[in-house]
Amino acid sequence: MLTSERVVLKLYIAGATPRSELAVHNLRQIRASYIHENFDLLIIDVLEEPQQAEDARILATPTLVREAPPPQRRIIGDLSDREKVLRALNLGLSSGGSLVG
């Protein structure tokens, strides 16, 4: 199980491209499989909200940012390698398949 800390993720995409849609799909599958509670996801289209991307210093899309719990972590790409995403966001899996924070 995930710790009691709220997980806050921001996914920066650039329009409705196949790569952006794949990242959104993969992240939603990760959430459904591993993160059931204490979870916020914001999807930010940098074409519609360029200032948010600039403020966050987003240089490539898709980029997933874990805002909380600290420290901030980032992963760039379509998020298709589930284990890599969980490791990069410091949301590792226990041997039983549940998340350990």
Distances (CA, A) of 7 to 10, 43, 71, 98: 10, 14, 11, 15
Q: Give tens-digit pLDDT for 18-77.
A: 999 999 999 988 888 877 677 888 999 999 999 999 999 999 999 999 998 899 999 999
Residue 92 scores a pLDDT above 60: no
Q: What angle do CA 91, 36, 69 make, to 5 degrees?
A: 40
Calpha distance 79→63 (Å, rounded): 9
Residue 101 scores a pLDDT above 90: no
Reported confidence tier of residue 1, pLDDT bands at 50, 70, 90: very low
Taken in order of first residue, the domains within the chain and their CATH numbers are 7-100 (3.40.30.10)
Residue pair 67/8 in contact by the 8 Å Cβ criterion: yes
Residue pair 39/97 in contact by the 8 Å Cβ criterion: no
Residue 94 scores a pLDDT above 50: no
